[in-house]
């Protein structure tokens, strides 16, 4: 299996050097570039399209706009925020911009590697010790957006939601339902629109709040 290509951008030289070394010694990864500003991140993404981009949130440039641009304009590059900021509003802002992970700089090396792997697999990863705080902030925001009225899901959408709640990845959902992974991604886009969610984690939070499916049967929770 080809290594996961990764780019690392942080304006703290010692931190950047340490993270670069962490991934360079792991044969599962290939560090293709490093930078120190948001503009560097954009140029790296434009030229190399790495599988995963790990970004510090506070460095020269608008990092949140950079995250959004990388996610929306690249062909599959995932973004992981790697930061010392423990305020949940920063995490919500990064996830809403399109980040697939929010990892605190006090985390272990194993957690950082796990977060990058999860992002590459299409999952959302938050530092476990910080996750409850972020999920609650996202839950509150989701409830506010869903307060306009009931949401109806199709049978297939309900099937996908149930599997999401069981922790299935897109690939596992595709296999379980006998459909293509691209089809699952299309349904995920529709679900995000219906549930007013801006990322996979918000879809899960919103889905947990749905009491009745579109055909009058309570949605099961596993």
pLDDT at residue 211 greater than cutoff 70: no
Q: How far is CA 91 from the centre of its chain?
A: 11
- pLDDT tier at 161, thresholds 50, 70, 90: confident
Q: Where are the alpha helices (DSSP H) in the chain?
A: 13-24, 38-48, 63-73, 88-97, 109-120, 128-145, 155-165, 170-177, 181-194, 200-208
pLDDT computed for residue 145 by the predictor: 57
- Could you say which of 3.40.50.2300, 3.30.420.40, 3.50.50.60, 3.40.50.170 is the CATH number of the domain covering 4-137? 3.40.50.2300
DSSP 8-state assignment for residue 130: H
Out of 41-50, 129-138, 140-149, 208-217, pick the least confident: 208-217
30-51: average pLDDT: 95
The helix-helix angle for 181-194 and 200-208 (nearest 10°) equals 60
pLDDT computed for residue 83 by the predictor: 93
Q: How far apart are CA 53 and CA 156, in angstroms?
A: 33
Structure-model confidence comparison of residues 51 and 195, the more confident one: 51
Are the C-beta atoms of 43 and 73 separated by less than 8 Å? no
Q: In what order do the strands lie in the sheet with 4-9?
A: 29-35, 4-9, 52-55, 78-83, 101-104, 125-126
Same fold: 4-137 with 146-208? no
pLDDT at residue 136 greater than cutoff 70: yes
Rg of the chain taking only CA atoms, in angstroms: 18
pLDDT computed for residue 41 by the predictor: 96
pTM: 0.67
Q: Domains of the chain: which residue ranges?
A: 4-137, 146-208
Query: What are the CA-CA distances from residue 127 to residues 6, 80, 84, 130, 135 (Å)?
Result: 19, 11, 11, 5, 11
167-191: average pLDDT: 86
pLDDT computed for residue 218 by the predictor: 40
Does domain 146-208 fall under CATH 1.10.3720.10? My reply is no
pLDDT computed for residue 3 by the predictor: 95
pLDDT tens digits for 59-101? 999 999 999 999 887 678 999 999 998 888 888 889 888 899 9
pLDDT at residue 220 greater than cutoff 50: no
pLDDT computed for residue 96 by the predictor: 84
| Percentage of the chain lying above the pLDDT 90 cut | 45
Q: Which two tokens stand for residue 52?
A: 């995963």
Q: How far apart are the first and last CA of the chain?
A: 33
- pLDDT tier at 201, thresholds 50, 70, 90: confident
pLDDT at residue 208 greater than cutoff 90: no
């Amino acid at each position: 299996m080809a290594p996961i290509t990764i780019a690392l951008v942080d304006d703290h030289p010692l931190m950047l050097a340490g993270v670069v070394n962490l991934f360079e010694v792991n044969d599962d990864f290939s560090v293709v570039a490093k930078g120190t500003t948001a503009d560097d991140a954009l140029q790296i993404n434009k030229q190399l399209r790495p599988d995963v981009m790990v970004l510090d949130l506070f460095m020269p440039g608008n990092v949140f706009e950079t995250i959004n641009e990388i996610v929306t304009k690249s062909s599959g590059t995932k973004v992981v925020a790697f930061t010392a900021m423990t305020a949940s509003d920063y995490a919500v802002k990064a996830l809403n911009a399109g980040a697939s992970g929010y990892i605190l700089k006090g985390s272990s090396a194993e957690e950082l590697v796990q977060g990058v792997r999860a992002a590459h697999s299409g999952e959302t990863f938050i530092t476990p010790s910080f996750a409850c705080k972020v999920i609650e902030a996202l839950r509150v925001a989701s409830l506010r957006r869903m307060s306009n009225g009931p949401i109806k899901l199709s049978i297939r959408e309900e099937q996908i939601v149930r599997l999401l709640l069981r922790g299935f990845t897109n690939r596992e959902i595709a296999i379980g339902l006998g459909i293509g992974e691209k089809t699952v991604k299309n349904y995920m886009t529709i679900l995000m629109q219906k549930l007013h969610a801006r990322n996979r984690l918000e879809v899960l939070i919103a889905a947990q709040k749905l009491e009745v499916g579109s055909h009058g049967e309570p949605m099961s929770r596993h």
